[in-house]
Structure 1
C-alpha cells in the first residue's frame, strides 16, 4: 500500500553521503543537537500520508473532512505552516477518529481519538538522526492500530491526574502519558464523558460495504 518513493541522496558539507538512521555509533556529537541539515528528507511522509487517506477512504465506513481548518483538531498548533489536513471520522462513535496534518517542514502530525497528538518526526535534528522510512513505519503502525481497535485513551482520577494512551501492535505495544493541566479544559471535560463509556478502548473501524 505504501507508494513507490524516489530515493534522494543527501550529502554533508564535505560531500560525503549521509546515511540517515545509521550515523552515530554511540552518542551523537554535541554540535549536532538543534541542527537540522536536510529537513527535506522527510518529504516522502506526505506521499505516505496521502496513500493512507486514500486507503482509509476506500476500505472503511468513514466520512472525510478535507481542509486546513481541520488542523484545529490538534491540541497545540503546528509549528510550521499547514499545507493540507484531513479528518477521517468512522461512522461509529465507538471508533476513534484521526486527523492527518501535513506541514511545510515537511512532516506529518496526527490527532488521534480525543486527547493525543503524534508527530512524524518528533524531532528532525541531526543528533536524532531519523529518516523518513522509520517515521513512515511508525505512522502506518499507529494508524492501523487505531483502525483495528488497538488504541486506548484513559484519564486517571485524582487531583493531578495523568492522561494516558496505549497502542497494541502484533509484535508489541507502546504507551505514553501527559498531565491534564497541559490540555484545554473544555476538551478534557468532553473527552472524559466519552471515554467513560469505552473502558476497553476504542473499537475497530467498520469496513465499507463495498470493501466487505
Structure 2
C-alpha cells in the first residue's frame, strides 16, 4: 500500500469507488474501532477527545476520536470514522492507515482482516513500538516511521512540506523519537 500523503489530511484516500458494490461490509470497522477505543480508554491513562473534523479540503465532516496518553513521551492515537464506511487511523505523528485502503470489489479487502490490522498496529503503538524522525535530503525533508510489534515489522517514509518539517524539528523530531509505552490505569479498589 502506498503511504498516505501527509499534506492531504489524515486519510482522504478512502473514497467510495464506483466499482465498490458492497461497501456496507465495512461498517463492522466502525463497531470494532468504537469497542477498541472504549477498551483503551478504560485500560490506560489517556484523555479521550471527540470532535467533528474535515479530513481534507473537499471532504465532509467526520467523527474523530483521539486518545492522548497522559504522559507526553507516549504516542497519541487518532481514528476518523469515514462515511464510506471506513477508518482513517493515525498513530503518533506520521503513521497513517486507511482501512480499507481501497474498498473496491477487485481488491476484495476482508473487513475481519482490517479489524486485525487495526488491533495489531494499535497494540504496537501502546507497547512503545513506534519510532519516528525527520531527515533532510537534497530534495527536502522526509518523515520516516517504523512500527514494530507482535507479528508486525513495518517501515514507511514520505515527503514533508517545508512548514511541516520546520514544525517537526521544533517539536524534537530532528532526532529519532521512540514513543514510550502507554501508562496503565490503576485498578479500582
TM-score past 0.5 threshold: yes
Could you tell which deviates more after superposition, 168-177 or 118-127? 168-177
Note closer, same or farther for the CA distance 1:177–1:95 as it changes in structure 2 (3 Å cut).
same
Where relative contact order (Cα < 8 A, 6+ residues apart) is larger, the structure is 2
| Correspondence 1:171 to 2:151 | yes
Is the 1:80–1:105 Cα contact (8 Å) retained in structure 2?
A: no
Any unmatched runs of 5+ in structure 2?
1-16
TM-fit CA distance, 1:116 = 3.4
TM-fit CA distance, 1:200 = 5.1
Note the 1:14-25 alignment, pairs <5 A.
none
TM-fit CA distance, 1:195 = 4.0
Any unmatched runs of 5+ in structure 1?
1-32
| Correspondence 1:66 to 2:50 | yes
What residue in structure 2 maps to residue 139 of structure 1?
Answer: 118
Partner SS, residue 103 of structure 2: coil
TM-fit CA distance, 1:115 = 2.6
Give the TM-score normalised by structure 2: 0.80
Partner SS, residue 117 of structure 1: strand
| Correspondence 1:194 to 2:178 | no
In our comparison, the structure showing a higher alpha carbon Rg is 1
Judging by fraction of residues, say which structure has more helix: 1
Provide, for residues 127-153 of structure 1, a one-character-per-residue CA deviation record: whole Å limited to 9, x for no partner: 211011111111111111111100111
What residue in structure 1 maps to residue 83 of structure 2?
Answer: 104
TM-fit CA distance, 1:172 = 3.7
| Correspondence 1:87 to 2:85 | no
Aligned length: 172
Query: CA RMSD for the aligned pairs?
Result: 2.5
Is the 1:152–1:201 Cα contact (8 Å) retained in structure 2?
A: yes
Aligned equivalents of 1:162 and 1:197: distance in 2?
11
What residue in structure 2 maps to residue 14 of structure 1?
Answer: none
